[in-house]
Copies of this chain bind each other. A is one copy, B any other.
Amino acid sequence: MATINDVARRAGVSTATVSRALNGKSTVDPALVLRVRAAADELGYHPNGLARNLRRQETAVLALIIADVENPFFTSIARGVEDVAQAQGYSVVLCNSDESADKERRYIDVALQERVAGVILSPTGATSNVERLRQRGTPVVAVDRPLPEGDQVLVDTRLAAREATEHLVAAGYRRIGCVTGPAGVRTADDRLAGYRDAIRAAKRPELARHAEYRAAGGREATLELLAEREPPDALLIANSAMAIGTLEALTEANLRLGRDVGVVAFDDVPWATLIDPPLTVVAQPAYEIGKQAAKLLLGRIGASTSAPRTTMLAARLIERGSTVRE
């Protein structure tokens, strides 16, 4: 495998000149630049990034640690991050923590060892993981879920849940239930809190269940609620994967969407308009979250630290047929 030495020998110059020529330093004789380039091409030379980074003490790589690669919400964030990072010459390494604090810790260790320039993550909640990054001085930005005293890009999800519930009240539903994610996951707790805010203000009974952020979780929680003595006639569902389970459950129970049971779900998915009636959703600006987080992170890299910054984005309720009673 060709090294800078081989190129230098072949071009009849020193390694210093090769380095300068290939890195576009202006102080090199154009004729030499040509000779070096030719030699490099002939040898199929690719600079060794490991050596380069070791020397420079920096890597143009960002780590993005998300809770679920199969969740469109997170892949949208990924694209936002990627687009901004690419434009600035950074690569993005995508890691899947799978909602597990342990996997998160492992990936943070990798990030630490590989000396990435910065980390964006949706924290599982184990703050000790993030603490290690901070100790080392690696910039961190949290997305989707808060990070105490850290940079973060969030959605006001409690407010969004409250508005979505108020919408159900206004649409004439009387017994409104909520299926949210696992207790302890901050977005799940916040959405539940927002639901409660609205329910109490409207003086309605509370009907809530925690479940895994997956279709199976949504399905079971929904079936449980439907089996109550006084079942709900509307549901707020905390993410799109769970919504799939909920819709399955309603079909099984022979309940008509909208007419029998109104449904609002978090996250605007491409298939929301394909079902009948179309699904009312709380659209989160996922791509924008990714962009903002990447910008914030890149701003932190190589800059002196300053006070933590929180960017709060708004979600948007998109009313469709699934919350129309008649």
Contacts and interface: CB of A to CB of B under 8 A. Distances in A.
A244 B215 contact: no
Q: In the complex this chain forms, how many copies of it are found?
A: 2
Contacts of A72: 70
Interface in A85-135: 91-96, 107, 109-110, 112-115, 132, 135
Given A69-B79, A69-B94, A96-B82, A49 B274 contact: no
Contacts of A115: 48-50
Nearest to A247: B274
Contacts of A275: 271, 274-276
A54 interface: yes
A54 B46 contact: no
Contacts of A75: 69-70, 75
Interface residues of A, number: 51
A12 interface: no
A96 B69 contact: no
B70 A91 contact: no
A93 B96 contact: no
Contacts of A93: 93-94
B96 A79 contact: yes
Given A70-B72, A75-B70, A248-B274, A1 B136 contact: yes
Interface string A272-284: 0111100000000
Nearest to A51: B54
A140 interface: no
A44 interface: yes
Contacts of A273: 248
Leading 4 A-B pairs by shortest Cβ distance: A49-B113, A94-B94, A271-B271, A50-B54
